[in-house]
Amino acid sequence: MTTERTMTLNMGPQHPSTHGVLRLVLELDGEVVVRCEPHIGYLHTGIEKGLESKRYQQGIPLTDRLDYLAPLSNNLAYVLAIEKALGIEVPDRAQTIRVLMTELTRIKSHLVWLGTHALDIGAMSVFLYCFREREQVLDMYEAVSGQRMMSSYFRVGGLMADLPAGFEAQVEAFLAAFPSRLEEYEALLTENPLWRQRTVGIGSIRAADAIVLGVSGPALRACGVAYDVRRANPYCGYERYQFDVPVGKVGDVYERYTIRMAEMRQSHRIAGQALQRLAPGPINVADPKLIPPPRKLLKTSMEALIHHFKLYSEGFSVPAGEVYQAIESPKGELGVYLVSDGTNRPYRVHYRAPSFVNLQALPRMVEGRLVADVIAVIGSLDIVLGEIDR
C-alpha cells in the first residue's frame, strides 16, 4: 500500500501503547495517517471453541480470561444467559452481591484504563495512584473468592460462596475514601493544559457513525447517545437502583475521559446502594440439580450424595433453545449468545465483545490525524485484546 508519497509503518503487535498485541498497519504521509488497518488475532485462544467442550459450570473460568480487566462482567453475562435458558432467577441477595461486585469491577477496569491511558500520553503518576486503588478492589476479589483476578465468583444459580465476615466494612471503607481519590486523579488531569492539548478535539466521531459502526459503552455515550444496557434493558435488578447515564457531546478523547470519570462516580453510587440493600437470605436457588448440597448433608442424606455425584460428574442440562443476554460491561455491550441442544454442554457460545466492535471504529477516528493521536485514541477506546481475539 506504500505509494511514492506515503510510507507504511507497522505499529505493534509489540508496542506498549497498543494495550496488548494489537497490530496497526499505518500508511503515513509525513506524520499524518492516511490509512489505518488493524490486524488482530495474535491473542486468539479459541475460548468459544473451548466452551463448547466443557460442561456449563466448567466453562466459567474460561470466561474470566476474555476481558481480564473485568472478569466478573464476563462471568455475569455467561451465567445470566444460562439462567435465562434455564428459566430461573437467582435470589435477591445474590442479585445484590452481583451488582455490587460488577460495579466494583467497573471501577477497577476504569482505573486500569485511566492509568494506562494517562501513561501513554505521558502522565506517569496517575498510573501509580490508580493502581493503588485497584489493589483494594483486588483485595475484595480475594476476600470473596480467594482469587485476586480470575475469580469465577458468579455461578449458575447464584454465587460461589456468601460474602465473608467483615466484607461490608471493607467495601464501606473503600467507598468512603474513593470520591477523594477521584478528585486526586482529576486534579492531575482535567485542567492540565498538556492533557487537554493531547485529548480535546482528538479522535471525535459523530453519533450516527458510531451507531452504524456498532460502537457501545463509554465511547458511544461520549457522542451523546444515552445507550446503557443497565438502563435500557435492566438485568440483576438494575431498575431498582438510582444512577445517571452520563453522556457527552462531541465524542472526542477528552469526553471519553470525562464520561468514564463520571461513570466511576455512578458506580460508586450504585455500589453504595447495593451495600444498603444487602439483606440476609439465600445466595443460591433452591435447586439441588444446579447447586451442590451442603457438605454436612453428604454424610446423612442419600439424595444429597446422589445430587453431589451427578453434579460433579455429569453437570446439569439446559433445555434446547437459544438466548442472547447483554450486559453493560466496563467496555460496552457485552452479549452472550448461547445455543443449547439440551445436553450438559453448550452447543455454541458466542461473546459479543465490545472491544472487538469498538476497535472497528478506530480507522474512522484516526485517519487524517497525526501518529501521536493514534496512541491517544487507542487509549481512549479502552480495548482489551483478550476479548477481541477470544
According to the binding rule CB under 8 A, does residue 286 interact with other proteins?
Answer: yes
When binding is defined by CB under 8 A, the residue of 6, 92, 131, 188 that contacts other proteins is 92
According to the binding rule CB under 8 A, does residue 155 interact with other proteins?
Answer: no
Q: 250 to each of 201, 214, 274, how far by Cα in Å? A: 8, 17, 33
Containing 220, the helix (H) or strand (E) segment is helix 218-221
When binding is defined by CB under 8 A, the residue of 31, 139, 183, 287 that contacts other proteins is 287
CA distance 40 to 289: 41
Q: Give the binding range for other proteins (CB under 8 A) out of 55-63, 87-95, 145-153, 162-170.
A: 87-95
Cell 472497528: give the residue.
360
According to the binding rule CB under 8 A, does residue 371 interact with other proteins?
Answer: no
As measured in angstroms, the least distance from the Cβ of 116 to other proteins is 24
Asked whether the beta carbons of 149 and 71 are under 8 A apart, the reply is: yes
Bridge partners of 329?
332
CA distance 60 to 153: 9
Backbone angles phi, psi at 295, to 5 degrees: -50, -45
CB atoms within 10 A of CB 166: 9
29 or 239: CB nearest other proteins: 239
When binding is defined by CB under 8 A, the residue of 7, 9, 149, 212 that contacts other proteins is 212
Buried b (16+ CB within 10 A) or exposed e, 42-54: ebeeebeebbeeb
Q: Give the binding range for other proteins (CB under 8 A) out of 135-143, 166-174, 248-256, 319-327.
A: 319-327
When binding is defined by CB under 8 A, the residue of 76, 225, 311, 381 that contacts other proteins is 225
Number of residues binding to other proteins, judged by CB under 8 A: 50
CB atoms within 10 A of CB 297: 15
As measured in angstroms, the least distance from the Cβ of 61 to other proteins is 16
According to the binding rule CB under 8 A, does residue 245 interact with other proteins?
Answer: no
Instruction: List the x/- string, 14-43, binding to other proteins by CB under 8 A.
Output: --------------------------xx--
First to last CA, the chain: 29
51 or 261: CB nearest other proteins: 51
272 or 354: CB nearest other proteins: 354
| 204 phi-psi bin (left φ>0, alpha ψ -120 to 50, beta other) | beta
Angle at 319 between CA 93 and CA 82, to 5 degrees: 35
CA distance 175 to 275: 10
Cell 442472547: give the residue.
324
According to the binding rule CB under 8 A, does residue 277 interact with other proteins?
Answer: no
According to the binding rule CB under 8 A, does residue 213 interact with other proteins?
Answer: yes
As measured in angstroms, the least distance from the Cβ of 388 to other proteins is 9
Q: For binding to other proteins (CB under 8 A), which residues are involved? A: 40-41, 44, 46, 48-50, 52-53, 84-85, 87-89, 91-92, 95, 211-214, 216, 225, 227, 232-233, 237, 281, 285-287, 321-324, 326, 333, 335, 337, 339, 341, 347-348, 350, 352, 356-357, 360, 389-390
